[in-house]
Amino acid sequence: MFLFRLKRTAKLGIKSLWMHRLRSTLTMLGIIFGVCSVIAMLAIGEGASQAAQEAIKQLGSTNLIIETVKPPEKQTDTGKVETVHKYGLTYTDAESIRNTIPDIQVVVPIREIAQQEARYLNYPKVAVRIVGTIPWYTEISPVQLIRGRFLSSIDLHHQQNVCVIDEEVARKLFIFDDPMDKDVRIQGNYYRVVGVVGARASADGQNGFGNDKTSLTNPSGGVVGNIYVPLTTAKTRFTELASSFSGGSQSIERIELQKIIVKVDSDEQVLQMRDILDASLARLHEKSDYHIVVPLELLLQAARTRRIFSIVLGSIAAISLLVGGIGIMNIMLATVSERTREIGIRRALGAKKRDIIVQFLSETLILTLAGGVLGIILGSIIPFFVTLFGRMPTVITGSSLMLAFGISAAVGITFGLYPAYRAANMDPIESLRHE
């Protein structure tokens, strides 16, 4: 019985919408574009935020990164001739952190030497970055070992001339040969390749901890990838001095460590640890020549940004849906007055007000739900093209589809109620007389 009514009502609704195809299509467009924009915007927003979260996750949510930054120049120093400008994190800092602060899983000091040239036999030179670190680097960075092994504590202890190279570096350096156990020449020293790691750890030419700040201090232009060597080896083989000329005067800088990465047990400890690190480093540093980056904070910040992003996009989409809904209401009001006589006939034949409401409401619902489905289809296609041509990641979630469908149903009911109510409350005698 109920099914029959539903079927009949739906059939009638579709029939009368089909009779005015152009009108129905135009009316539906409002909903189609509204729903489409909801889905496309959510997909783009979701894609952007997932990409951001992925990048931040690579930094490790339980990690704290202490970076060397160039301290602000003091004008009062101009009278004094400072031959070597020494600043930044030191081996002492790393030792002090490891020895004095509890609840730390691992402390990894990192020394980076940018813009070095590596060579294998007489093949062309390749620009690389030397990363001096300790074996526990793998604990804090998602290094993907492809061949061989990573640096070992024996390498570290004996200051071995060994290295682990990036996949990308391996491809450029060893054009014809297998890189394993071959020697790479850097600044006149030979380093034996003991392992190859995935390029993912060095995405966009930086190591896994790269972010905008380090790329400013260590420009990675032209660098193919990283070569990892034991920290002790890096300390003895490479100078800590870096000279640069500016305005006719030479300035020499001396930096021991570029980064110290600290890993704690859980996310909750991260923020507290930042304060502890800050306090203990402040004692050791006169100048503010370090900066603590907390990936977890970035993660939280990304979540906040994402929320704002969603709200903005959501309100734009909501406005377009509102406009679509008003369009529907307008058309339904026109339909109701056009079909006044039909309403009168139905009332005379025993239709209650409720029956008339159901009839017109279902017509609006069919219109909006059909628009919703078409909008979902169109809205699923658009992000695909955005990804294809705009090179932006997009993610269509099931919940966004449900949301869009729910919204179109809600729009149908909201904007269909008034016309249906008006239809139901027409005087049957008047409407029977209506021409």
Partner 1 sequence: MAVVDTRKLCKTYKIGSVQLPALCDVDLKIEQSQYIAIMGPSGSGKSTLLNVLGCLDRPTSGQYWLGGKDVSQLDDDELSLIRGKHIGFIFQSYNLIGQLNVIENIELPMFYQGFSEEASAEHARELAILVGLGDRLKHRPSELSGGQQQRIAIARALANDPLIILADEPTGNLDSESGDEILNILDHLHQQGKTLIAVTHDDSIAARAERTIRLFDGCIK
- Write out the residues near partner 1 by the rule CB under 8 A: 1, 4-5, 7-8, 12, 15-16, 19, 341-342, 344-355, 428-429, 432
- Left if phi > 0, otherwise alpha if psi is -120 to 50, otherwise beta: which for 115? left
Smallest distance from the beta carbon of 362 to partner 1, in angstroms? 14
Smallest distance from the beta carbon of 30 to partner 1, in angstroms? 24
Smallest distance from the beta carbon of 419 to partner 1, in angstroms? 18
Smallest distance from the beta carbon of 329 to partner 1, in angstroms? 22
Task: Report yes or no: 245 and 189 within 8 Å, Cβ to Cβ.
Answer: no
Own/partner pairs, 421-425, CB within 8 angstroms, 24+ separation: 421/357, 422/333, 422/336, 423/336, 423/339, 423/343, 423/356, 423/357, 423/359, 423/360, 424/343, 424/353, 424/354, 424/356, 424/357, 424/360, 425/353
Compute CA distances 44 → 318, 405, 419, whole Å: 16, 18, 36
**How far apart are the C-alpha atoms of 59 and 53, rounded to whole Å?**
10
Q: Which is nearer to partner 1, 95 or 338 (CB)?
A: 338
Smallest distance from the beta carbon of 352 to partner 1, in angstroms? 4
Q: What is the DSSP letter of 70?
A: P
Smallest distance from the beta carbon of 12 to partner 1, in angstroms? 7
Smallest distance from the beta carbon of 429 to partner 1, in angstroms? 5
Q: Which is nearer to partner 1, 37 or 335 (CB)?
A: 335
Smallest distance from the beta carbon of 353 to partner 1, in angstroms? 6
Q: Where does 185-266 have alpha helices with state H?
A: 212-217, 231-237
Q: Which is nearer to partner 1, 112 or 363 (CB)?
A: 363
What's at 383, amino acid-wise? P
| Count of Cβ atoms closer than 10 Å to residue 117 Cβ | 12
Task: Report yes or no: 298 and 122 within 8 Å, Cβ to Cβ.
Answer: no
Question: What are the φ/ψ torsions at residue 425 (nearest 5 degrees)?
Answer: -95, 10
Question: What are the φ/ψ torsions at residue 144 (nearest 5 degrees)?
Answer: -105, 110
**How far apart are the C-alpha atoms of 67 and 88, rounded to whole Å?**
8
Q: Which is nearer to partner 1, 344 or 375 (CB)?
A: 344
Q: Which is nearer to partner 1, 198 or 428 (CB)?
A: 428
What's at 274, amino acid-wise? R
Compute CA distances 417 → 25, 87, 329, 403, whole Å: 20, 72, 9, 21
The pair of three-digit structure tokens given for residue 335, joined into one six-digit string: 């339909």
| Count of Cβ atoms closer than 10 Å to residue 271 Cβ | 13
Q: Which is nearer to partner 1, 319 or 348 (CB)?
A: 348
Q: Which is nearer to partner 1, 214 or 359 (CB)?
A: 359
Smallest distance from the beta carbon of 368 to partner 1, in angstroms? 21
Sign of CA pseudo-dihedral 269, 275, 278, 281: negative
Q: Which is nearer to partner 1, 6 or 241 (CB)?
A: 6
Q: Which is nearer to partner 1, 186 or 358 (CB)?
A: 358
Smallest distance from the beta carbon of 414 to partner 1, in angstroms? 25
Q: Which is nearer to partner 1, 8 or 23 (CB)?
A: 8
- The β-bridge partners of 118 are 126, 186
Smallest distance from the beta carbon of 29 to partner 1, in angstroms? 24
The pair of three-digit structure tokens given for residue 48, joined into one six-digit string: 């952007």
Q: Which is nearer to partner 1, 314 or 428 (CB)?
A: 428
